[in-house]
Amino acid sequence: MSNYLAFDLGAESGRAVLGTLDGATLRLSEQHRFLQPNSRLNGHLHWNLMTQWEELKTGLRKATSSLPPDQKITALGVDTWGVDYGLIGEGGQVLSNPFMYRDVRTERIMDQAFARVSRERIFQMTGIQFMPLNTLFQLFAANRDHPKLLQAAQTLLFMPDLFNYLFTGQRKCELSIASTSQMIDPRTGQWATDLLRELSLPTHLLPEIVPSATIIGPLREDVASECGTDRITVVAPGCHDTASAVAAVPAEGGNWCYISSGTWSLMGVEADRPIINELSSSYNYTNEIGVGGKIRFLKNIMGLWLVQECRRAWLKDGHEYSYAELTRLAAQSRPFGAWIAPEHPPFGSPGRMLAKIADFCQQSHQPIPATPGEFVRTCLESLALTYRRTLEGLERILGHRIDVVHIVGGGTQNELLNQMTADACGRPVVAGPVEATAIGNILAQAMAVGQVGSLADARAIVRGSFDVKRYEPHDTAAWDEAFGRFQKISV
């Protein structure tokens, strides 16, 4: 029996989850949860790194004290969202609070980069979906706005790598998180230094890339002493939260796809090698790397962020709705009233979500939602129909039918969206486990220390330890008709 501590940091909240692996059975216990701290400083959005770091240490203290005296924590690992980074300067200090990927500095940045290197060449070199929040474009904006800061930096570390550095003093970059950056070649797993030079971006600050499930080192002595624990082994699991979540998909066979459902929805398949061609480029799909070296061929979709932002808008106006209540109101609302395009750029920035949805509906000549239930139903139906479109793109690129959709992560708790997805896609949906990211993180740690042999072994443990729920498609004819109309919406 071994205990592993997973720090799972999402865009909305973070938590520390203790996993006890006893033979082929994994049990979880949440030790600490906190809201993700961010602030607007000088007109820009930043993560509050010091507060995040204190929350991680609090989680470590709580997990340590929760165990009986004869048990220890075998290892710990951190996963986070992708693309964001911190800079380490001379002497090892962090140079500034990391920018948040929703910051305005990357607005219209892609066209400026394409003036240096063509879109086609960047995709051929990296195989990554184009989004202005990608690290490549964040770094391009930083080099434009603050070139001296980049020159002063010795090392760039993505968010989980940055926390690993604070835990151990080691500057390493884990492969799955690096693969979100649009700065590596997924064929080799190494930095695309030629591309960076063509964009006049510095390469001196790029650290060594290590595979998922790599031991980084022991906990720093001062951190261990402060947290009242041993010098625990720190592992880089699948440091990108989606890489960890996909590692915990309880699937068997080959004809399945996944949706890692949360603030973002990441929908795709596992492949043995990158898929970089005209078709994948035209669909704007991405080749990220997962646990075990698998390619996560997927599409990034604006997920439950849409509902989260609506809820924040109502809360600001003094109306506090739980997510369960909003889902109930959506289920009671009239179907197929209006839809939005989740990828519409204004939806990606914080604030005014209700007004943005209303503007989109007005500009696309649709009725404007009038009640909280109608707004949320608009968001959920739009996500389900976007999943249908993404599924069809995957099948066209792969050349075969996908038989089942696995949904993992926090979004699996939204049973209405799960059923809508089955109905819209005309495929069975298997939802669960909810805690997929923490589970994948823990099992990758167990792989690193030799307690779990392979990714297949890890998924067998998931199937034996956690329940899932199956949703069969219903009323597919109505959703087929709705999808035809959804495809024509534009603003």
In this predicted model, what pLDDT tens digit does every residue of 375-399 receive, in sequence order? 999 999 999 999 999 999 999 999 9
**Same domain? 233 vs 264:** no
427 CB contacts (<8 Å, ≥6 apart)?
Answer: 391, 402, 403, 404, 405, 473
Out of 208, 224, 241, a domain closes at: 241
255 CB contacts (<8 Å, ≥6 apart)?
Answer: 400, 401, 402, 403, 404
Q: Are 291 and 77 in contact (CB under 8 A)?
A: no
Q: Rounded distance, CA 287 to CA 84, Å?
A: 18
On whether residue 221 sits in a domain, the answer given is yes
Length of the chain: 491
DSSP state of 271: E
Q: Report the C-alpha dihedral over residues 170, 172, 176, 178, rounded to 10 degrees.
A: 130
- pLDDT at site 296: 97
**Same domain? 35 vs 12:** yes
Compute the half-sphere exposure of residue 214: CA atoms within 13 Å on the CB side of its CA.
18
- pLDDT at site 252: 86
Task: For the chain, give the percent of residues with pLDDT over 90.
Answer: 97
241 has catalytic annotation: yes
Identify the domain containing residue 384 by its residue range: 249-432+453-491
- pLDDT at site 11: 85
| pLDDT confidence bin for 12, thresholds 50/70/90 | confident
Dihedral angle sign, alpha carbons of residues 100, 104, 105, 107: positive
Q: Are 476 and 244 in contact (CB under 8 A)?
A: no
- pLDDT at site 99: 97
On whether residue 447 sits in a domain, the answer given is no
- The structure tokens listed for 239 are 């440091």
On whether residue 274 sits in a domain, the answer given is yes
The strand order across the sheet containing 429-431 reads 286-289, 295-302, 264-271, 256-261, 404-408, 429-431, 469-471
In this predicted model, what pLDDT tens digit does every residue of 355-378 receive, in sequence order? 999 999 999 999 999 999 999 999
Out of 193, 221, 241, a domain closes at: 241
**Same domain? 329 vs 180:** no
**Same domain? 261 vs 134:** no
**Same domain? 159 vs 268:** no
Instruction: Find the mean pLDDT for residues 261-275.
Output: 96
**Same domain? 419 vs 352:** yes
Distance from the Cα of residue 491 to its chain's centroid? 28
In this predicted model, what pLDDT tens digit does every residue of 129-180 receive, in sequence order? 999 999 999 999 999 999 999 999 999 999 999 999 999 999 999 999 999 9
Look at the block and give the residue holding tokens 């003093």.
Answer: 169
In this predicted model, what pLDDT tens digit does every residue of 224-251 receive, in sequence order? 999 999 999 999 999 999 999 999 999 9
On whether residue 271 sits in a domain, the answer given is yes
In this predicted structure, the answer to whether residue 253 has a pLDDT above a threshold of 90 is no
**Same domain? 86 vs 194:** yes
In this predicted structure, the answer to whether residue 105 has a pLDDT above a threshold of 90 is yes
**Same domain? 54 vs 70:** yes
**Same domain? 237 vs 308:** no
Domains: count for the chain: 2
| pLDDT confidence bin for 120, thresholds 50/70/90 | very high
- pLDDT at site 369: 98
Q: Are 441 and 447 in contact (CB under 8 A)?
A: no
On whether residue 442 sits in a domain, the answer given is no
Out of 241, 274, 306, a domain closes at: 241
Catalytic residue among 84, 241, 467, 480: 241
Q: Rounded distance, CA 372 to CA 333, Å?
A: 9
Q: Rounded distance, CA 485 to CA 479, Å?
A: 10
- Mapped onto helix, strand or coil, the DSSP state of residue 71 is coil
Burial class from Cβ neighbours inside 10 Å (0-12, 13-18, 19+) for residue 9 reads buried
For residue 70, how many other CB atoms are within 10 A of its CB?
A: 5
On whether residue 446 sits in a domain, the answer given is no
In this predicted structure, the answer to whether residue 491 has a pLDDT above a threshold of 80 is no
Burial class from Cβ neighbours inside 10 Å (0-12, 13-18, 19+) for residue 400 reads exposed
In this predicted model, what pLDDT tens digit does every residue of 450-463 receive, in sequence order? 999 999 999 999 99
3-state helix, strand, coil in the chain (%, to 5): 45, 25, 35
Task: Give me the CATH number covering residue 314.
Answer: 3.30.420.40
Instruction: Find the mean pLDDT for residues 305-322.
Output: 97
Average pLDDT, the chain: 97
- pLDDT at site 138: 98
**Same domain? 230 vs 255:** no
**Same domain? 226 vs 274:** no
On whether residue 313 sits in a domain, the answer given is yes
- The structure tokens listed for 203 are 């390469």
On whether residue 440 sits in a domain, the answer given is no
- The structure tokens listed for 234 are 């720190």
**Same domain? 269 vs 391:** yes
For residue 439, how many other CB atoms are within 10 A of its CB?
A: 29
Q: Whole-model pTM? A: 0.94
Q: Rounded distance, CA 96 to CA 408, Å?
A: 34
